[in-house]
Amino acid sequence: MFALAIPNTLRTSGYEGNGKAFWLYRCSSYDYQKPPGFPSSDPGQVHYSLAWTGEADADGHPEILRQLRWRSPPEETVITWCSHHRATDNAGVPVMSSKDICLFLDGHAKQVASSAMEPWYNAWYQVVP
């Protein structure tokens, strides 16, 4: 967990897409978002984490280094993204022309196809600057 326990200011997303529970500040929409078109039963998406996964895997995946948990992550590390303005169909699936705004460690932001941000728990390594 990566947030201080301040009464009535934290909530858990309730979703464990990669087997990890997340504690998030209620007021930070860049930690957690519920994109438009999501059903009310869907808990939403986590968009910020210091560590998305554990240590480097057996294959030495370079994407594993693109996490804020490391002392010097590469500049193309994803910090967060905004899916609040994406266009979706009736099932909440992003339409082909829909874009999310992604912020990278080097400070630049880029429009990225919303479909590239799905599933959200893999977006941190699927998106390239």
Instruction: Tell which wins on pLDDT, 126 or 2.
Output: 126
3-state SS, the chain, equals: CCCCCCCCCEEECCCCCCCCCCEEECCCCCCEECCCCCCCCCCCEECCCCCCCCCCCCCCCHHHHCCCCCCCCCCCCEEEEECCCCCECCCCCECCCCEEEEEECCCCEEEEEHHHHCCHHHHHHHCCC
In terms of Cβ atoms closer than 10 Å to its own Cβ (0-12, 13-18, 19+), residue 44 is: middle
Q: What is the pLDDT of residues 35-88, one digit of tens each?
A: 777 777 777 777 888 888 766 554 556 678 888 888 888 999 999 998 888 888
What's the predicted TM-score (pTM) here?
A: 0.68
* pLDDT the model gives residue 60: 57
In the chain, where the domains are located: 29-126
CB 75 within 8 A of CB 68: no
